[in-house]
Copies of this chain bind each other. A is one copy, B any other.
Amino acid sequence: MMKSTESNIKILFEPKSIAIIGASQHKGKIGYKILENIVAGGYKGKIYPINPKGGEILGIKAYKAMEDVPGDVDVATIVVPAEFVYPALKGCAAKKTKFLSIITSGFSEIGNVEEEKKIVSFARENGMRILGPNIFGFFSAGVSLNATFGPKEVKKGGVAIITQSGALGVAMIGKTAVENIGLSAIISVGNKSDLDETDLLRYLINHEETKVIMMYIEGIKDGARLVGILKEATAKKPVIVVKSGRSKRGAIAAASHTGSLAGSDEIFDAIMKQCNVQRAENIKDALEWCKFLSNSPVPTAENAIIITNGGGIGVLATDACEKYGIKLYDDYEALKKTFAPVMPYFGSAKNPIDLTGQAESSHYSLAFTTSLKNKNISSLISLYCETAVFDIQNFEPLIEETYKKYKAAGKPIVFCLVGGEKVEECVKSLRRRDVPAFNDPYEAVSCLGALYSYANYHGESSETIDKPKLDVKSIEEVIKKVRAENRSFLLSNEGQAVVKAAGMPVPQSYIARNIKEAADYAQKIGYPLVMKIVSKDILHKSDVGGVALDLQNKNEVIEAYEAIINNCRTHNPAATIDGVEVSEMVPHGTELIIGARRDPSFGPIVMFGLGGIYVEVMKDVSFRAIPVGRREILSMIKQIRSYPLLLGVRGEAQKDIESVIDSIIKVSGIIESCPAITDIEINPLVVYEKGVKAVDARILISHLK
């Protein structure tokens, strides 16, 4: 796939000229609406309406064809009916157009896949990139370009929005204006026939005016690229994502709507965390977070403090802090000393600091200053419940002043005020001036939580990822043999060979072709032993008597060899038998599963869990996108609920977690280095106090080159 570079994607966001193919005189038409928006928005570049009738539209000269336009055109917005889109491309190519914004719908989203492909391929051949089709267009604040059929008024500011849904996008333009959220850009990707989120992010990452990026996603087509750019993006600014289709039912609805398969939500969620992307459940929360994060400093440490005039709301905010992962400052002695001078005798100097219902603005003022000048307190949650005695007229300016002062000092604050008409008016008035005021403690705390979640990860983002050393040549030899036999699965011993080539400890194992060899190998390995038939024609080995466990001596080995060969011959006289595998029986330990596969959305991903029931029944597993660093792998291991079993319960010693991390890196390495391998599952990987053993490996390959 052709990769867009930052320099050329800039032309889409900052074009010097734009053509509207299908511009119209008729007010009801999209071709009129878009031109009207471009003009009304104050776009300073050249505007070329294209309409077969020519003449003038909205006082601007219209051209009968693209070819008639003088000079080149950076961007062409296309609104003609689906069947006229392809024919319009020739003129665009003639004018060396760089980007086509295809508003028109009626392509892959309704099954008209071929026409879309034709358009993309013609565009590519002629050096043009496509946004859409099936979009509402795009808005770019830098050049005051509103090339959408959405609302005329767009408030400018620091939030960039990329949306897969056109309808929601248009609604969000209105919604952001109402909520006083300024946009640096809003852009709809629709069918993503060519450009997708990744291409657009490339521009937004380095776009200085963009402080926060929000994305509404329904399905992902090239997740591996997206993961890379998201990691880059969040190292510079917060990214907030809403992904719909999180439920099973929703995923079906999403698929019917966009044509791109919605990935499993657990995987999406895990990978967003890995990329330090903040995931909101719904649009409302996402926009609140955007507003807050674009207006607040990123805290450099933990330790928040709650100031309240009511115990109840203080407890609610405390609950919310736990939910959203905010650590409250809890050095009680220090708090007592700090707040003693400002406390009424029956208030509490524990955090939440309770100023009680008697508090007036002046008490808040004192408490704010006392808290925020304390270097151990990094952020503030201010709560107010309406009381009869309170001087709210003084509170509003106090809030604004405090917010601004400590914004400059790097300390974020959220204010929550609950009460009647006067209180609501105060909240609204503060919000209009971009002060983070809320009327519900959970909303306030959720915003601060998103900020901390972003900030806390931030410090860890520099992890370097070591590539494991693999004997790729050996692995490729195994695969070559499997392919030659036209199989898509590896035999047990082949799987072991791959795992061994990746440097993982496997049980000692040999293939005996006769009784003597079996006895010799047994002698070499030592007892107890396991024996298994090796034959590509016998898959369910246990069922046919092709396995013997816990063999304790030479006699048992000899008997087992004969029994296994006999059983298998009886079961399938025509089977090709390669021999009998004689393996070390590994001692008892904690059984784990490590899996890796190529996810249809995200490319290579790795999975970790405890073996058996924990995976099968409890679904207690965690995921990451590959590549993944040691620290992130550790967080992946700690994330499973059964993690305490690795630390040792009931008097058992701790397991060798470092070796588990090594194993995850190695399994990731196999799937990264060997494009033929589609699935690996080490089950079980047995972990001990010291070391691990990969007992069995199930590996699948594709037959595509």
Q: In the complex the two chains form, is B613's CB within 8 Å of A645's CB? A: yes
- Given A309-B167, A419-B175, A644-B617, check contact A149 B388 (CB 8 Å): yes
- For residue A496, CB closer than 8 A to chain B, the reply is no
**A620 / chain B contacts, CB cutoff of 8 Å:** 618
Interface centre among A151, A253, A309, A386 (most CB of B within 10 A): A253
- For residue A313, CB closer than 8 A to chain B, the reply is yes
**A170 / chain B contacts, CB cutoff of 8 Å:** 385-388, 419
Q: In the complex the two chains form, is A246's CB within 8 Å of B319's CB? A: yes
Interface residues of A in 150-169 (CB under 8 A from B): 150-151, 153, 163-168
Q: In the complex the two chains form, is A253's CB within 8 Å of B171's CB? A: no
**From B177, B247, B320, B350, contact of A256 by CB (8 A):** B350
- For residue A485, CB closer than 8 A to chain B, the reply is no
Q: Which residue of B lies closest to A174 (CB)?
A: B420
Q: In the complex the two chains form, is A418's CB within 8 Å of B283's CB? A: yes
Interface pick from A69-77, A434-442, A504-512: A434-442
Q: Which residue of B lies closest to A320 (CB)?
A: B282
A488, chain B: closest CB distance, angstroms? 26
**A165 / chain B contacts, CB cutoff of 8 Å:** 310-313
- For residue A352, CB closer than 8 A to chain B, the reply is yes
- Given A250-B319, A315-B253, A348-B257, check contact A151 B310 (CB 8 Å): no
- For residue A649, CB closer than 8 A to chain B, the reply is yes
- Given A282-B442, A322-B248, check contact A313 B642 (CB 8 Å): no
Q: Mark A223-247, 1 if CB is under 8 A from B, else 0.
A: 0000000000000000000101111
**A703 / chain B contacts, CB cutoff of 8 Å:** none
Q: Which residue of B lies closest to A315 (CB)?
A: B244
**A249 / chain B contacts, CB cutoff of 8 Å:** 318-319, 321-322, 328
Q: Which residue of B lies closest to A112 (CB)?
A: B346
**A642 / chain B contacts, CB cutoff of 8 Å:** 613, 617-618
**A319 / chain B contacts, CB cutoff of 8 Å:** 244-247, 249-250
**A311 / chain B contacts, CB cutoff of 8 Å:** 165, 167, 218, 253-254, 256-258
A243, chain B: closest CB distance, angstroms? 9
Interface residues of A in 636-672 (CB under 8 A from B): 641-642, 644-645, 649-650
A287, chain B: closest CB distance, angstroms? 10
**A587 / chain B contacts, CB cutoff of 8 Å:** none
Interface residues of A in 255-292 (CB under 8 A from B): 256-258, 281-284
Interface centre among A311, A387, A618, A650 (most CB of B within 10 A): A311
- For residue A178, CB closer than 8 A to chain B, the reply is yes
Bound-state CA distance A150–B386 (Å) is: 9
Q: In the complex the two chains form, is B178's CB within 8 Å of A253's CB? A: no
Q: In the complex the two chains form, is A168's CB within 8 Å of B218's CB? A: no
Number of copies: 2
- For residue A389, CB closer than 8 A to chain B, the reply is yes
**A350 / chain B contacts, CB cutoff of 8 Å:** 252-253, 256
Q: In the complex the two chains form, is A316's CB within 8 Å of B616's CB? A: no
- For residue A687, CB closer than 8 A to chain B, the reply is no
Interface size on A, residues (CB 8 A): 93
- For residue A24, CB closer than 8 A to chain B, the reply is no
Bound-state CA distance A320–B420 (Å) is: 30
**A246 / chain B contacts, CB cutoff of 8 Å:** 319, 322
A379, chain B: closest CB distance, angstroms? 16
Q: In the complex the two chains form, is A257's CB within 8 Å of B354's CB? A: yes
Q: In the complex the two chains form, is A247's CB within 8 Å of B312's CB? A: no
**A167 / chain B contacts, CB cutoff of 8 Å:** 309-313, 357, 385, 387
- For residue A110, CB closer than 8 A to chain B, the reply is yes
- For residue A606, CB closer than 8 A to chain B, the reply is no
- For residue A87, CB closer than 8 A to chain B, the reply is no
Q: In the complex the two chains form, is B318's CB within 8 Å of A171's CB? A: no
A292, chain B: closest CB distance, angstroms? 17
Bound-state CA distance A368–B7 (Å) is: 50
- For residue A423, CB closer than 8 A to chain B, the reply is yes
- For residue A443, CB closer than 8 A to chain B, the reply is yes
- For residue A80, CB closer than 8 A to chain B, the reply is no
- For residue A323, CB closer than 8 A to chain B, the reply is yes
**From B106, B250, B316, B617, contact of A318 by CB (8 A):** B250
Q: Can you list 22 A-B contacts with CB-CB less than 8 angstroms, sorted by A residue number?
A: A28-B389, A151-B420, A165-B311, A173-B420, A174-B386, A178-B424, A244-B316, A245-B315, A246-B319, A247-B318, A249-B319, A249-B328, A250-B315, A250-B319, A250-B322, A253-B314, A256-B348, A257-B311, A282-B441, A283-B418, A283-B440, A618-B618
Which A-B residue pairs are the 5 nearest by beta carbons?
A: A174-B420, A165-B312, A167-B310, A247-B322, A257-B311
* Residues of A near any B CB (own CB < 8 A): 28, 30, 33, 105-106, 110, 149-151, 153, 163-168, 170-175, 177-178, 216, 218, 242, 244-250, 252-254, 256-258, 281-284, 309-316, 318-323, 328, 346, 348, 350, 352, 354, 357, 385-389, 418-424, 439-443, 613, 616-618, 620, 641-642, 644-645, 649-650
